[in-house]
Copies of this chain bind each other. A is one copy, B any other.
C-alpha cells in the first residue's frame, strides 16, 4: 500500500483525487490539508464522498507528511515550490498538479507566472509527467510535474505526427475548447453559472500560460515546432476538445495506421476508427484521451481531434497514473472505468 497525502484539497483537482483514490486498491489516503477548513470533515464540503471517505481536513505539517510516501499538491500555482524541498529531503515523493515545475526554462516560467521561482534546482530534477512521453523517467522520479489539461490533450494529438516528421513543425494551430471546471473552484464572476452558461468565447488569444508548456513538449520532439494556441470556454463542466491543424510535410501518408501503431500499447490513449469524431462526454470521469485523425487532401493538412476529461487525464487521473508508475503498480490501477454516458 502507498501512503499518500494531499495538500490543498478543496478545489476540483483535490476532490477528484479523493474520488479516484478512495477506490484505489493499493492506496491509503493519510491526510488532506486545508488551512481554512482544518478540523471539518471532508464530506461536509464534498457530500458525494459520504460513506466513501472518513477524513478531516488538517493543517499542513511536515511532521504529518512523514507518514506519507507521496504528496500530491492540488494547490494554486506557486504554492508547491515553497514546500517541496523539505519533503524531498525527508524522502517523500511529490506530484505537483500545478505549474510550478512544468517549464524547464526557469526564466520563461518567471515571465509567464510573474514571480521569482523559489527552487530552480528542483525544477532541474523534476520530471514532466506525461507518461506517453516520459514513462521511464517518471518511474524513478522524486518529483513529477503533472501536465496541464490543454498541454496533455494537444501534445497527445501531435506526438505521432511530429515523431514521424509528417507535418511542417511550425504550421500547427491548436483550437481548444474547455469546460468551465478548468477554471477551478474559486469564487469568480466570470465563471458564475449565469456568465458561463449559454455562451461560448475565446480567451487569451494573444497568449496563455499553457502555450509555452505545449511548445516545450513539442520541441522535445522537433526543435522547429511552433504553434498557435487558442483556448475557448464552453458551457459544460468537464471536458477538453482540441482541434489541431497542421500542414503535411511531404506527401500524405496513412495517418490512421500511424496513430494506431504509435499508441498501440498505451493504456489511456484510444485511437478511434477513421472518420470518427470523438465526443468529450465519451471520456467523462475517465483517464482516457480519445483521438481521431483526419486527412484533408484538398488543403494538404491533417486535422486531429483529441478529447480528455480535464479533471482526470488533464489533472487528477494523470497524477494517479504517474503515482502508479512511480510506485511500480499496474499503470491502470484504480483508473479503469467507462465514461459516464449520458
Contact = CB atoms under 8 A, between A and B. Distances in A.
Given A49-B338, A191-B192, A284-B198, A206 B275 contact: yes
Interface string A178-194: 00110001111101111
A313 interface: no
A95 to B, nearest CB: 21
A203 B305 CA distance: 10
A179 to B, nearest CB: 8
Interface stretch (A68-76, A98-106, A232-240): A232-240
Nearest to A197: B237
Copies of this chain, how many?
Answer: 4
Given A203-B277, A236-B200, A237-B198, A226 B48 contact: no
Interface string A217-254: 00000000011101010111111010101000000000
Contact of A194 (B173, B203, B237): B237
A234 B235 contact: yes
Given A50-B290, A201-B277, A245-B173, A194 B342 contact: yes
Contacts of A49: 338
A192 B194 contact: no
A51 B200 contact: no
A22 interface: yes
Contacts of A193: 180, 191-193, 195-197, 235, 237
A176 B193 CA distance: 19
Interface string A266-294: 00001010011111111111101010001
B296 A199 contact: no
Interface in A158-192: 170, 173, 175, 177, 180-181, 185-189, 191-192
28 contacts: A22-B338, A23-B337, A47-B272, A47-B279, A48-B340, A52-B336, A175-B175, A175-B245, A186-B189, A191-B194, A192-B193, A193-B235, A194-B237, A198-B236, A198-B281, A198-B284, A199-B236, A199-B279, A199-B281, A199-B284, A200-B236, A202-B243, A205-B296, A205-B305, A228-B245, A230-B303, A285-B340, A340-B340
Interface of A: 12, 15, 18-19, 22-23, 46-53, 170, 173, 175, 177, 180-181, 185-189, 191-203, 205-206, 226-228, 230, 232, 234-239, 241, 243, 245, 270, 272, 275-286, 288, 290, 294, 296, 298-299, 301, 303, 305, 307, 336-342
Given A48-B339, A185-B195, 20 more contacts: A47-B276, A50-B270, A50-B272, A170-B299, A173-B175, A177-B177, A177-B234, A180-B193, A186-B189, A191-B192, A191-B193, A192-B193, A193-B235, A197-B197, A200-B234, A205-B294, A205-B296, A206-B275, A228-B303, A234-B234
